[in-house]
Amino acid sequence: MITIDNLHKSFGGVEVLRGASLEIQDGEVVALIGPSGEGKSVLLKHVAGLMRPDSGRIVFNGKDIFGLGHAELMSLRSRFGFLFQNGALFDSLTVFDNVAFPLREKTRLGEKDIREKVLAELKQVGLTGAEDKYPSQLSGGMAKRAALARALVGSPQIMLFDEPTTGLDPIIVHSIHALIASTHKRFGFSGIVVSHAIPGIFAYVQKVAVLYGGVIRFVGTPKEIFETDDVVVRNFIQGSLPAETFPSREQAPPQSKANELQERAL
Protein backbone atom coordinates (compact mmCIF):
# COMPACT_ATOMS: atom_id res chain seq x y z
CA MET A 1 0.00 0.00 0.00
CA ILE A 2 1.18 3.53 -0.81
CA THR A 3 0.09 6.42 1.36
CA ILE A 4 0.67 9.98 0.24
CA ASP A 5 0.39 12.02 3.38
CA ASN A 6 -0.07 15.78 3.43
CA LEU A 7 2.50 16.63 0.77
CA HIS A 8 3.68 20.23 0.43
CA LYS A 9 6.01 21.43 -2.29
CA SER A 10 6.82 24.87 -3.67
CA PHE A 11 9.11 26.02 -6.46
CA GLY A 12 10.67 29.44 -6.06
CA GLY A 13 7.97 30.66 -3.67
CA VAL A 14 5.06 29.25 -5.71
CA GLU A 15 3.20 26.59 -3.80
CA VAL A 16 2.33 23.72 -6.14
CA LEU A 17 1.27 21.04 -3.65
CA ARG A 18 -0.51 22.28 -0.54
CA GLY A 19 -1.20 19.20 1.47
CA ALA A 20 -2.05 16.50 -1.06
CA SER A 21 -3.06 13.15 0.46
CA LEU A 22 -4.01 9.91 -1.27
CA GLU A 23 -4.03 6.18 -0.59
CA ILE A 24 -3.39 3.46 -3.14
CA GLN A 25 -4.21 -0.10 -2.12
CA ASP A 26 -2.25 -3.06 -3.45
CA GLY A 27 -3.34 -4.01 -6.94
CA GLU A 28 -5.32 -0.83 -7.35
CA VAL A 29 -4.93 1.62 -10.22
CA VAL A 30 -5.89 5.22 -9.50
CA ALA A 31 -6.58 7.78 -12.21
CA LEU A 32 -5.15 11.15 -11.27
CA ILE A 33 -6.89 13.91 -13.16
CA GLY A 34 -6.90 17.67 -12.94
CA PRO A 35 -6.14 20.79 -14.98
CA SER A 36 -2.71 21.24 -16.58
CA GLY A 37 -0.06 22.80 -14.41
CA GLU A 38 -1.74 21.72 -11.18
CA GLY A 39 1.22 19.56 -10.18
CA LYS A 40 0.17 16.06 -11.27
CA SER A 41 3.63 15.30 -12.63
CA VAL A 42 5.20 16.78 -9.52
CA LEU A 43 3.04 14.55 -7.31
CA LEU A 44 4.01 11.48 -9.34
CA LYS A 45 7.70 12.29 -9.02
CA HIS A 46 7.32 12.51 -5.25
CA VAL A 47 5.78 9.05 -5.16
CA ALA A 48 8.79 7.70 -7.04
CA GLY A 49 11.16 9.52 -4.69
CA LEU A 50 12.54 11.68 -7.51
CA MET A 51 11.57 14.89 -5.74
CA ARG A 52 11.74 15.69 -2.05
CA PRO A 53 8.72 17.39 -0.48
CA ASP A 54 9.02 20.50 1.68
CA SER A 55 6.92 18.60 4.19
CA GLY A 56 4.76 15.48 4.22
CA ARG A 57 5.46 11.79 3.77
CA ILE A 58 5.13 9.00 1.25
CA VAL A 59 4.68 5.74 3.11
CA PHE A 60 5.28 2.55 1.20
CA ASN A 61 4.50 -0.70 3.04
CA GLY A 62 4.85 1.08 6.37
CA LYS A 63 8.11 2.86 5.54
CA ASP A 64 8.59 6.54 4.81
CA ILE A 65 10.51 6.54 1.52
CA PHE A 66 12.25 9.82 2.30
CA GLY A 67 13.73 8.24 5.42
CA LEU A 68 15.29 5.33 3.53
CA GLY A 69 19.01 4.91 3.03
CA HIS A 70 20.50 5.04 -0.44
CA ALA A 71 20.63 1.29 -0.97
CA GLU A 72 17.07 0.76 0.29
CA LEU A 73 15.76 3.55 -1.90
CA MET A 74 17.54 2.10 -4.93
CA SER A 75 16.11 -1.36 -4.37
CA LEU A 76 12.64 0.10 -3.80
CA ARG A 77 12.90 2.14 -6.95
CA SER A 78 13.72 -0.82 -9.11
CA ARG A 79 10.21 -2.09 -8.34
CA PHE A 80 8.80 1.07 -9.90
CA GLY A 81 7.97 1.64 -13.52
CA PHE A 82 7.63 5.25 -14.57
CA LEU A 83 6.34 6.57 -17.85
CA PHE A 84 7.54 10.16 -18.08
CA GLN A 85 5.28 12.73 -19.64
CA ASN A 86 7.80 13.43 -22.38
CA GLY A 87 9.10 9.90 -22.66
CA ALA A 88 12.61 10.55 -21.34
CA LEU A 89 14.10 8.01 -23.73
CA PHE A 90 17.90 7.84 -23.62
CA ASP A 91 18.75 9.66 -26.81
CA SER A 92 22.13 8.02 -27.22
CA LEU A 93 20.43 4.61 -27.53
CA THR A 94 18.18 3.12 -30.21
CA VAL A 95 14.58 2.22 -29.42
CA PHE A 96 15.59 -1.41 -29.01
CA ASP A 97 18.43 -0.57 -26.63
CA ASN A 98 16.18 1.77 -24.68
CA VAL A 99 13.63 -0.95 -24.06
CA ALA A 100 16.36 -3.52 -23.42
CA PHE A 101 18.15 -1.21 -20.99
CA PRO A 102 16.23 -2.17 -17.80
CA LEU A 103 16.63 -5.87 -18.63
CA ARG A 104 20.34 -5.60 -19.39
CA GLU A 105 21.09 -3.58 -16.28
CA LYS A 106 18.73 -5.13 -13.75
CA THR A 107 18.36 -8.79 -14.72
CA ARG A 108 20.62 -11.70 -15.60
CA LEU A 109 18.74 -12.57 -18.78
CA GLY A 110 20.74 -13.64 -21.81
CA GLU A 111 20.80 -11.51 -24.93
CA LYS A 112 18.49 -13.95 -26.74
CA ASP A 113 15.77 -13.79 -24.06
CA ILE A 114 16.13 -10.03 -23.89
CA ARG A 115 15.68 -9.75 -27.64
CA GLU A 116 12.54 -11.87 -27.47
CA LYS A 117 11.02 -9.85 -24.63
CA VAL A 118 11.87 -6.50 -26.15
CA LEU A 119 10.43 -7.39 -29.54
CA ALA A 120 7.26 -8.71 -27.90
CA GLU A 121 6.89 -5.51 -25.88
CA LEU A 122 7.46 -3.33 -28.95
CA LYS A 123 4.85 -5.33 -30.82
CA GLN A 124 2.37 -4.70 -27.98
CA VAL A 125 2.76 -0.95 -28.35
CA GLY A 126 2.70 -1.14 -32.15
CA LEU A 127 6.31 -0.22 -32.79
CA THR A 128 7.45 -3.28 -34.71
CA GLY A 129 10.02 -2.19 -37.26
CA ALA A 130 11.18 0.88 -35.35
CA GLU A 131 13.78 -0.97 -33.23
CA ASP A 132 16.80 0.58 -34.87
CA LYS A 133 15.59 4.17 -34.87
CA TYR A 134 16.98 6.73 -32.46
CA PRO A 135 14.59 8.76 -30.27
CA SER A 136 15.29 11.91 -32.29
CA GLN A 137 13.91 10.14 -35.38
CA LEU A 138 10.58 9.27 -33.74
CA SER A 139 7.36 11.25 -33.76
CA GLY A 140 6.02 12.33 -30.38
CA GLY A 141 3.51 9.51 -30.30
CA MET A 142 6.07 6.87 -31.23
CA ALA A 143 8.47 8.13 -28.57
CA LYS A 144 5.73 7.88 -25.97
CA ARG A 145 4.92 4.32 -26.98
CA ALA A 146 8.59 3.36 -26.89
CA ALA A 147 8.79 4.85 -23.42
CA LEU A 148 5.72 2.87 -22.42
CA ALA A 149 7.39 -0.31 -23.63
CA ARG A 150 10.48 0.54 -21.57
CA ALA A 151 8.39 1.19 -18.47
CA LEU A 152 6.47 -2.08 -18.78
CA VAL A 153 9.26 -4.43 -19.87
CA GLY A 154 10.58 -5.12 -16.37
CA SER A 155 7.08 -6.09 -15.09
CA PRO A 156 7.25 -3.59 -12.23
CA GLN A 157 5.02 -3.89 -9.16
CA ILE A 158 4.18 -0.20 -9.07
CA MET A 159 3.45 1.67 -12.25
CA LEU A 160 3.28 5.43 -12.55
CA PHE A 161 2.03 6.65 -15.92
CA ASP A 162 2.29 10.34 -16.69
CA GLU A 163 -0.18 11.02 -19.49
CA PRO A 164 0.32 7.80 -21.47
CA THR A 165 -2.05 8.82 -24.26
CA THR A 166 -1.78 12.60 -24.54
CA GLY A 167 -0.97 13.63 -28.10
CA LEU A 168 -1.77 10.26 -29.66
CA ASP A 169 -4.41 9.60 -32.28
CA PRO A 170 -7.74 8.05 -31.15
CA ILE A 171 -7.03 4.53 -32.40
CA ILE A 172 -3.70 4.36 -30.63
CA VAL A 173 -5.27 5.87 -27.50
CA HIS A 174 -7.71 3.02 -27.41
CA SER A 175 -5.01 0.39 -27.85
CA ILE A 176 -2.79 1.96 -25.18
CA HIS A 177 -5.65 1.92 -22.70
CA ALA A 178 -6.34 -1.69 -23.60
CA LEU A 179 -2.64 -2.49 -23.17
CA ILE A 180 -2.46 -0.90 -19.72
CA ALA A 181 -5.66 -2.64 -18.66
CA SER A 182 -4.50 -6.06 -19.87
CA THR A 183 -1.04 -5.65 -18.35
CA HIS A 184 -2.71 -4.75 -15.10
CA LYS A 185 -4.83 -7.89 -15.29
CA ARG A 186 -1.76 -10.02 -16.01
CA PHE A 187 0.68 -8.60 -13.46
CA GLY A 188 -1.64 -6.91 -10.98
CA PHE A 189 0.55 -3.88 -10.41
CA SER A 190 -0.69 -1.00 -8.33
CA GLY A 191 -0.32 2.39 -9.82
CA ILE A 192 -1.33 5.87 -10.76
CA VAL A 193 -2.32 7.00 -14.24
CA VAL A 194 -2.26 10.71 -14.89
CA SER A 195 -4.57 11.29 -17.81
CA HIS A 196 -6.83 13.71 -19.60
CA ALA A 197 -8.55 10.85 -21.42
CA ILE A 198 -11.93 11.21 -19.74
CA PRO A 199 -14.01 9.05 -19.73
CA GLY A 200 -11.81 6.45 -21.54
CA ILE A 201 -9.59 6.08 -18.51
CA PHE A 202 -12.55 5.34 -16.22
CA ALA A 203 -13.09 1.99 -17.89
CA TYR A 204 -10.23 0.25 -16.11
CA VAL A 205 -9.25 2.23 -13.02
CA GLN A 206 -10.58 1.38 -9.58
CA LYS A 207 -10.46 4.93 -8.23
CA VAL A 208 -10.33 8.47 -9.53
CA ALA A 209 -8.55 11.31 -7.73
CA VAL A 210 -8.84 14.95 -8.71
CA LEU A 211 -5.90 17.24 -8.01
CA TYR A 212 -7.08 20.79 -7.75
CA GLY A 213 -5.60 23.79 -5.97
CA GLY A 214 -2.68 21.74 -4.68
CA VAL A 215 -4.82 19.20 -2.82
CA ILE A 216 -6.61 15.99 -3.74
CA ARG A 217 -10.05 17.49 -3.97
CA PHE A 218 -11.94 14.30 -4.71
CA VAL A 219 -11.34 10.57 -4.41
CA GLY A 220 -13.91 7.99 -5.40
CA THR A 221 -14.88 5.35 -7.90
CA PRO A 222 -15.45 6.37 -11.52
CA LYS A 223 -19.16 5.97 -10.84
CA GLU A 224 -19.09 8.24 -7.82
CA ILE A 225 -17.35 11.05 -9.64
CA PHE A 226 -20.35 11.50 -11.96
CA GLU A 227 -22.60 11.82 -8.93
CA THR A 228 -20.51 14.21 -6.87
CA ASP A 229 -21.98 17.43 -5.56
CA ASP A 230 -18.65 19.21 -5.85
CA VAL A 231 -19.21 21.81 -8.55
CA VAL A 232 -15.55 22.21 -9.39
CA VAL A 233 -15.11 18.51 -9.96
CA ARG A 234 -18.31 18.28 -11.99
CA ASN A 235 -17.34 21.17 -14.20
CA PHE A 236 -13.92 19.74 -14.75
CA ILE A 237 -15.33 16.36 -15.72
CA GLN A 238 -17.92 17.85 -18.02
CA GLY A 239 -15.40 20.21 -19.58
CA SER A 240 -13.16 17.24 -20.27
CA LEU A 241 -15.80 15.04 -21.86
CA PRO A 242 -15.86 14.83 -25.66
CA ALA A 243 -18.81 16.77 -27.12
CA GLU A 244 -20.87 13.78 -28.26
CA THR A 245 -20.92 12.21 -24.80
CA PHE A 246 -21.78 15.48 -23.12
CA PRO A 247 -24.67 14.55 -20.83
CA SER A 248 -27.25 17.24 -21.42
CA ARG A 249 -29.18 16.18 -18.34
CA GLU A 250 -26.18 17.05 -16.19
CA GLN A 251 -25.42 20.34 -17.90
CA ALA A 252 -24.19 22.75 -15.28
CA PRO A 253 -26.43 25.75 -14.63
CA PRO A 254 -24.82 29.15 -15.33
CA GLN A 255 -24.55 29.65 -11.59
CA SER A 256 -21.96 26.90 -11.26
CA LYS A 257 -19.58 28.63 -13.66
CA ALA A 258 -19.64 31.68 -11.44
CA ASN A 259 -19.06 29.46 -8.43
CA GLU A 260 -16.03 27.98 -10.05
CA LEU A 261 -14.55 31.34 -10.88
CA GLN A 262 -15.10 32.32 -7.29
CA GLU A 263 -13.39 29.15 -6.13
CA ARG A 264 -10.40 29.83 -8.34
CA ALA A 265 -10.06 33.35 -7.04
CA LEU A 266 -9.96 32.15 -3.45
Partner 1 sequence: MGNQADRWLLTPIRGLGRVPLSVISNMGRMGIFLVQALFFTFAPPLKFFRLLKQIKFIGFDSLLVIVLTGAFTGMVLGFQGFYTLSRVGSTALLGPMVALALLRELGPVMAALMVTGRAGSAVTAELGIMRITEQIDALEILGLSPFRYLVVPNLLAALICLPLLTAIFNVIGILGGYLIGCKLLGVNGGTYFGSMSDYMGMKDVLIGLYKSICFGGIIAWVCCHKGYTAGFGAEGVSKATTQAVVLSSVLILVCDYLLTSVLF
Ligand X SMILES: Nc1ncnc2c1ncn2[C@@H]1O[C@H](COP(=O)(O)OP(=O)(O)O)[C@@H](O)[C@H]1O
Interface with ligand X (CB under 6 A): 11, 16, 36-42
Cis preceding linkage at 170, omega within 30: no
> Quick one: which segment of 45-53, 183-191, 215-223, 250-258 binds partner 1 (CB under 8 A)?
45-53
DSSP string, 127-143: -TT-TT--GGGS-HHHH
Cβ proximity to Mg ion: between 85 and 259 the closer is: 85
Cross-strand pairs, 32? 194, 209
**Which residue in 21, 27, 50, 167 binds partner 1 (CB under 8 A)?**
50
**Which residue in 63, 90, 123, 170 binds partner 1 (CB under 8 A)?**
90
Under the binding rule (CB under 8 A), the answer on residue 60 touching partner 1 is no
**Which residue in 10, 61, 75, 262 binds partner 1 (CB under 8 A)?**
75
CA-based nearest residue to 158, from 6, 24, 16 = 24
Cβ proximity to Mg ion: between 40 and 145 the closer is: 40
Under the binding rule (CB under 5 A), the answer on residue 78 touching Mg ion is no
Closest distance to partner 1 from the beta carbon of 77 (Å): 4
Under the binding rule (CB under 8 A), the answer on residue 105 touching partner 1 is yes
Closest distance to ligand X from the beta carbon of 36 (Å): 4
Under the binding rule (CB under 5 A), the answer on residue 85 touching Mg ion is yes
| Phi-psi sector, 61: left (phi>0), alpha (psi -120 to 50), beta | left
